[in-house]
């Protein structure tokens, strides 16, 4: 047999390498020192590096406290000192990172810094979406408040119309469908004109108009109730 035609047998190491290439890869974890970023951020703000204190609480627990001098911002209009803490059961360095991360979050949320990292684009989109959501929520709250105010006003006018008709229902040619104390909703003030059509006297015209106004207010109150 021609030795050139003999198939080559792959070594175990070669097979293992091929298998490794076919396996799904686990993303490499890139750890960024948050304290280093914090110090750089404070430098941009012309503030000194944070005062750091690490307490060993025993049993592998660590507490890091950072004291930061901050310039005026929306949460405080004067130069101030603020404390940030980080607790870890792993290491002292991890507690420092957690405290630094807490401080960076505060600086970003108060508009003091913007961290231009890999997630900057996503953060901007998230901030934009959150801003619109907050504005929409404020608008909804205003509409609900106005709706409740208009409801109270309509109920008051409706009640006054009912009281006016209750004392002169015969003269106004109207029928009160229910008493004010029986039904605790808009229907309790339902008024129906029962006189001739068209009304013949001034009082009958007044009764017809009051009944019509009562019906319109009744519809408005029902619409407000369904909307809220």
pLDDT in tens, 134-145: 899 988 888 888
Mean residue pLDDT of the chain comes to: 81
Q: Which of 153, 139, 143 is nearest to 227 (CA)?
A: 143
- Compute the average pLDDT of residues 200-209: 89
Domain 34-117 has CATH 3.30.160.20: yes
pLDDT over 60 (residue 49): yes
**E strand or H helix that includes residue 209:** helix 202-227
pLDDT confidence of residue 88: 92
Predicted local distance difference test score (pLDDT) of residue 182 = 38
Domains in the chain: boundaries = 34-117, 143-227
pLDDT of 228 reads: 56
Q: Which of 39-43, 113-117, 176-180, 181-185 has the highest mean pLDDT?
A: 39-43
Per-residue pLDDT for 186 more than 50? Answer: no
Structure tokens at 52: 């750091």
User: Does pLDDT of 98 surpass 80?
Assistant: yes
What value does the mean pLDDT take over residues 185-200? 75
* pLDDT above 50: residue 183: no
* String of DSSP letters for 99-167: HHHHHHHHHHHTTS----STTHHHHHHHHHHHHHHHHHHHHHHHHHHHHHHHHHHHHHHHHHHHHHHHT
β-bridge partners, 103 = none
Higher pLDDT, 226 or 149: 149
Token pair of 110 as six digits: 């108060």
- Return phi, psi of residue 29, to 5°: -90, 120
């Amino acid at each position: 047999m021609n030795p050139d035609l003999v198939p080559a047998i792959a070594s175990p190491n070669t097979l293992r390498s091929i298998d490794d290439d076919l396996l799904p890869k686990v993303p490499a974890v890139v750890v960024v020192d948050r304290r280093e970023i914090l110090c750089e951020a404070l430098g941009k703000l012309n503030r000194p590096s944070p005062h750091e204190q690490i307490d060993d609480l025993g049993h592998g627990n660590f507490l890091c406290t950072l004291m930061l001098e901050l310039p005026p911002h929306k949460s405080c209009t004067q130069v101030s000192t603020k404390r940030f803490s980080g607790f870890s059961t792993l290491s002292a360095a991890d507690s420092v990172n957690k405290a630094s991360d807490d401080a960076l979050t505060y600086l970003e949320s108060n508009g003091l810094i913007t961290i231009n990292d890999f997630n900057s684009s996503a953060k901007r989109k998230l901030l934009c979406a959150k801003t619109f959501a907050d504005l929409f929520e404020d608008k909804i709250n205003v509409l609900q408040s106005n709706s409740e105010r208009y409801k109270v006003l309509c109920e008051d006018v409706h009640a006054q119309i009912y009281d006016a008709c209750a004392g002169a229902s015969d003269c106004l040619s109207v029928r009160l469908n229910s008493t004010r104390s029986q039904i605790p909703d808009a229907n309790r003030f339902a008024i129906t004109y029962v006189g001739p059509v068209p009304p013949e006297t001034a009082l009958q015209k007044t009764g017809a108009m009051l009944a019509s106004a009562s019906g319109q207010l009744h519809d408005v109150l029902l619409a407000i109730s369904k909307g809220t």
